[in-house]
Amino acid sequence: MGAQTWKMHEAQEEFLAERGSLIPMLQRVQEGLGYISEEALQQVAKHLGLTESQVYGVASFYAQFRFTPPGRHSISVCLGTACHVRGGQGLMETVQRDLGTSAGASTSDGKFDLNRVACLGCCALSPVVKIDHDIYSNVTTTKIRGILNEYE
């Protein structure tokens, strides 16, 4: 039994087959897989007696759910007010262009996933970028290229 099937089996045992279980069940699946796969979406729908489009409609409404596997490294570019004023949008555009991906997606090689965040709480250090658990401050478009090269 594959990891994905095992996680779904575990989630199905934990949650009652009722509509109110949808979001907690999706959260548990994503916690186990890192994203909501097509197979998992189908299994959740079947378990809860919903259509796949109903499950997808709810999951796609919330920004917390993703439908693509996460990258080995997660990049979060802060676009809060302080970071935006100090070049956050330019950093986001540089990262998107250099990695060939967009916010909310992963690179084709699975190395990175890219996210835009409203605030990382480091306004005095703006603009900031978080990669995995590391915060980089006063980041410029030149500096971000060097930072990205540090990751395998």
Q: In the 8-state DSSP scheme, what is residue 44?
A: H
Tokens of 8: 């779904």
The pLDDT value recorded for residue 6 is 45
List the domains of the chain with CATH numbers.
3-61 (1.10.10.1590), 73-149 (3.40.30.10)
Q: In the 8-state DSSP scheme, what is residue 106?
A: B
Question: Which residue, among 122, 132, 134, has the nearest Cα to 88 in the 3D structure?
Answer: 122
pLDDT band at 4 (very low <50, low <70, confident <90, very high): low
Q: What share of the chain in percent tops pLDDT 70?
A: 88
Position 98 pLDDT exceeds 60: yes
Determine the 3-state secondary structure of 90 from DSSP: helix
